[in-house]
Amino acid sequence: MKHHIKNIQLAKEGQRRIEWAEREMPVLRAIQERFRKEKPLKGKRIGACLHVTTETANLMITLKAGGADVKLCASNPLSTQDDVAAALTKNHGIPTYAIKGENEKTYYSHLKAVLETRPQITMDDGADLVGLLHSRYQHQLDEVIGGTEETTTGVIRLKAMEKDGVLGYPIIAINDADTKHMFDNRYGTGQSTLDGIIRATNVLFAGKTVVVAGYGWCGRGVASRARGMGAHTIVTEIDPLKGLEAVMDGFEVMPMVKAARQGDIFITLTGNKHVIREEHYRVMKDGAIICNSGHFNVEIDIPALKKLAVSIKQVRTFVDEYKMKDGRRIHLLAEGRLINLAAAEGHPASVMDMSFANQALSARYMAREHESLDPRVYDVPKEIDKEVSKLKLRSMNMFLDVLTPEQEKYLVSWQEGT
């Protein structure tokens, strides 16, 4: 399979949109210019499994500018932008294996197609590619020098692999960089999740009760944006510290079984499974909307919802209506998959700029340093994180103060007091 996309003729529109996103990615653009001259990834085969979006396209183009031989597949069956897949394949010589709406079998055949090109560096989002490499393609592990992982869920899976002693090569946890999760997870997920819900349903948030499950960086972003749109916002949590933070941020915190009776719109972002399940469906209001913005489609127990339903029908694109025996209707968005990428376009380019700058610089770091690294999960080097924040601030025309010599001295002294 040389590539597998929906329609190569979509390339022109994909190209226009890739260029539009590029305008909002100044940090990645600066890295691309450097890569073009220095070729830090020369000859390296990179296998990427990411959401195929305009922002990802700019990352792939940057890696190629750095000398890498890049192949790309989708990290989610519903997140692909088909025009972008066409443009990457046709205009940039980056073979792409991704079709929006692909079934699970095709999804895995795309991951396999990338693995069959024998990548030396993996770039993953959710760790499906790494999981498959460690099961069906174990014989290729010796050729892999390192990898990067984009998201919270993927990092959790990789740390579990490291703990079990099965991780075969070093992987950098991009998600754990401050310039990633503090911005992408919070402001990116915050905005794109509401964007996805609105595009799918056209509901008004003002006056609604929104239930946000999980108050990690993503949940915080979504709760704050839902409130900003005028929604009464409830948070559910299992961690007392995060629950306390949500309360002091001004949200109501309660168990899902209680929130289920009150909510109009439910959004899961926990990284766990069956956060919304049978006991909750039984008490939800007629017309409730449920959706997920966590990585996998397990947060909402869909089989249980199906079992309770007397009928299921699609009432709008990305909106399935499940009718209960008592006549109540529950609306599931995007089959419980990432609503922001399925019904909207994922995070805006300006925030992906930082996440993908971390990706590009970490791939360069891996190419340079892999021989000194063990098969473990590593943080993004602090210098990279700092460089990304500096470049981003500069691109926004914002400048910092600098310490005076007197202040520098004060900060490392103990003699001065009251």
349-369 vs 382-395: helix crossing angle, rounded to 10: 150
For ligand ADE, which is the closer residue by CB, 188 or 294?
188
- Tell me the HSE value of 387 on the side-chain side, using a 13 A CA sphere: 16
- Output the CA torsion sign for 355, 358, 359, 360: positive
Q: How far is the CB of 221 from ligand ADE (least distance, A)?
A: 12
For ligand ADE, which is the closer residue by CB, 55 or 301?
55
Structure tokens at 409: 């001295």
SS3 322: strand
Residue nearest to ligand ADE (CB): 346
Size of the site for ligand ADE (CB under 6 A): 10
Whole-number Å distance between alpha carbons of 303 and 307: 6
Applying CB under 6 A, among 56, 175, 270, 359 the residue interacting with ligand ADE is 56
Applying CB under 6 A, among 346, 358, 367, 384 the residue interacting with ligand ADE is 346
Q: How far is the CB of 352 from ligand ADE (least distance, A)?
A: 5
Question: In this structure, are residues 309 and 326 in contact, taking their beta carbons and an 8 Å threshold?
Answer: no
CB contact set of 25 (below 8 Å; sequence gap of 6+): 55, 58, 349, 350, 352, 353, 356
Q: How far is the CB of 89 from ligand ADE (least distance, A)?
A: 17
Q: How far is the CB of 220 from ligand ADE (least distance, A)?
A: 16
Is 352 a residue that touches ligand ADE (CB under 6 A)?
yes
Whole-number Å distance between alpha carbons of 226 and 223: 5
Chain positions 324 to 343 lying near ligand ADE, rule: CB under 6 A, are 341
For ligand ADE, which is the closer residue by CB, 111 or 284?
111
Q: Residue ranges of the alpha helices (H) in 256-370?
A: 256-262, 278-281, 302-308, 339-342, 349-369
Whole-number Å distance between alpha carbons of 86 and 94: 10
What residues are paired with 248 via a beta bridge? none
Q: How far is the CB of 334 from ligand ADE (least distance, A)?
A: 14
Q: How far is the CB of 56 from ligand ADE (least distance, A)?
A: 5
Is 347 a residue that touches ligand ADE (CB under 6 A)?
yes
Chain positions 159 to 198 lying near ligand ADE, rule: CB under 6 A, are 188
For ligand ADE, which is the closer residue by CB, 84 or 366?
84
3-state helix, strand, coil in the chain (%, to 5): 50, 15, 35
Q: Are strands 319-324 and 309-316 parallel, antiparallel or unpaired?
A: antiparallel
For ligand ADE, which is the closer residue by CB, 44 or 347?
347
For ligand ADE, which is the closer residue by CB, 75 or 236?
75
For ligand ADE, which is the closer residue by CB, 305 or 351?
351
Residue type, 408: E
Q: How far is the CB of 82 from ligand ADE (least distance, A)?
A: 15
For ligand ADE, which is the closer residue by CB, 76 or 389?
76
Let me know if 2 is exposed, middle or buried by CB neighbors in 10 A (0-12, 13-18, 19+): exposed
For ligand ADE, which is the closer residue by CB, 288 or 343?
343
* Interaction pattern, residues 207-236, with ligand ADE; x per rule: CB under 6 A: ------------------------------
Q: How far is the CB of 50 from ligand ADE (least distance, A)?
A: 6
What residues are paired with 390 via a beta bridge? none
Q: How far is the CB of 365 from ligand ADE (least distance, A)?
A: 21
Structure tokens at 325: 């025996």
Q: How far is the CB of 147 from ligand ADE (least distance, A)?
A: 16
Q: How many CB atoms lie within 10 A of CB 163?
A: 10
Is 126 a residue that touches ligand ADE (CB under 6 A)?
no
* Interaction pattern, residues 36-55, with ligand ADE; x per rule: CB under 6 A: --------------xx-x-x
Q: Are strands 252-253 and 265-268 parallel, antiparallel or unpaired?
A: unpaired
Question: In this structure, are residues 96 and 47 in contact, taking their beta carbons and an 8 Å threshold?
Answer: no
Whole-number Å distance between alpha carbons of 16 and 21: 9
For ligand ADE, which is the closer residue by CB, 263 or 348?
348
Whole-number Å distance between alpha carbons of 258 and 316: 29
Question: In this structure, are residues 287 and 264 in contact, taking their beta carbons and an 8 Å threshold?
Answer: yes
Residue type, 161: M
Q: How far is the CB of 412 from ligand ADE (least distance, A)?
A: 41
For ligand ADE, which is the closer residue by CB, 53 or 152?
53
**Residues at the interface with ligand ADE (CB under 6 A):** 50-51, 53, 55-56, 188, 341, 346-347, 352
